[in-house]
Amino acid sequence: MIQKARENQLNYQYITKENQKKDILIHCIIHDIAGQLSGINCCLMLLETENLTPKAREYLEIGKKQALQEEILIRDILNAFSAEITSLESFTVDADTAPNLLTSAQEVIQLLSPTFVLNKVHLQLADNIDQTSDWRVIGDKSRLNRIIANLAENAFRHSPMDSTVTIGLQQEEDSILVTVDDQGSGIPAEIAKHIFEKFSQAGNSGRVGLGLYFCRMTVERWGGNIGYLPLPQGGSRFWVRLLKPKPKT
């Protein structure tokens, strides 16, 4: 038994060291890419001040949108690898300091609403949420916000204009269910099987699937689970089930 414990400790140390090496490499690569992208964004900002033809300004807007997508991709890569590297780190199980799901959802809506409004998509909380209930869950607040934001941004990318993305919260006996519903075209069943895997792609978006992978890695580390359901009326539902912290006795 002592020998087995020693082997486990050595394996843990090896995995930690390898993860640290990977972390350094990934951050160096991302730093270089982000630096180049920053230069591109500066050039695009300077072009905005020029007297451009309508067609040239249209191309400029396309360039700005593509640059924004690259920024999101860089963040997704960092989040995904961070989820792997920090999977052994601690998180909050204490009821006194546990993150509040309702608060996180409200903060994400406040953060993302300008982007949604600009693209004529409405982001809202479900009407049936009891704001006086206890919405605390096991987890880490910053990563919880990132999970909700990832799911909302994913819904946004698949939402047509003049549609709505709704974040719902539902109390269960030992857990809380979070849902993010959109009114898009849904995800084909064959693709839906793999959307939480690293580098999977949902549809023809061209985006590398890291945001949902980050969500799965993090949620499972907290003892929860995550999934996808097609809605009967059309559209998609991504759901996350997180455990409630046990009250102190």
Domain locations along the chain? 2-85, 101-243
The model's pLDDT over 226-238, given as tens digits with 9 standing for 90+, comes to 999 999 988 999 9
Q: What value does the mean pLDDT take over residues 66-75? A: 77
Between 38 and 244, where is the model more confident?
244
Mean pLDDT of the chain: 81
Instruction: Encode pLDDT of 166-222 as tens digits.
Output: 999 999 999 999 999 999 988 888 888 888 886 665 554 444 456 788 788 889 889
Q: Is it the case that residue 7 has pLDDT exceeding 90?
A: no
- Interhelix angle 211-221/141-157, nearest 10 degrees: 140
Tokens representing residue 37 in the block:
């992208």
Max mean pLDDT among 25-29, 33-37, 44-48, 237-241 falls in: 237-241
The band of 44, judged by pLDDT with boundaries at 50, 70 and 90, is confident
- Bridge partner residues of 240 (DSSP): 178, 226
Helices and strands: H and E segment counts in the chain: 6, 5
Asked if 137 and 199 touch (Cβ cutoff 8 Å), the reply is: no
Residue 159: closest CA among 179, 180, 190: 180
Whole-angstrom distance, CA of residue 17 vs CA of residue 33: 25
Handedness of CA 158, 66, 120, 104 (dihedral sign): positive
Q: What is the mean pLDDT of residues 5-17?
A: 57
For residue 51, what pLDDT is reported?
Answer: 87
Longest Cα–Cα distance of the chain, Å, equals 76
- What is the mean pLDDT of the segment spanning 62-81? 75
Residue 88's pLDDT band (boundaries 50, 70, 90)?
Answer: very low
- pTM score: 0.68
> Looking at per-residue confidence, does 209 or 152 come out higher?
152
DSSP H helices in 86-208: 101-118, 141-157, 189-192
pLDDT range class, residue 31, cuts 50, 70, 90: low
- Fold topology of 101-243: Heat Shock Protein 90 (3.30.565)
pLDDT at residue 208 in the model: 44
What is the rounded distance in angstroms from the CA atom of residue 106 to the CA atom of residue 191?
30
Residue keyed to tokens 């359901």: 229
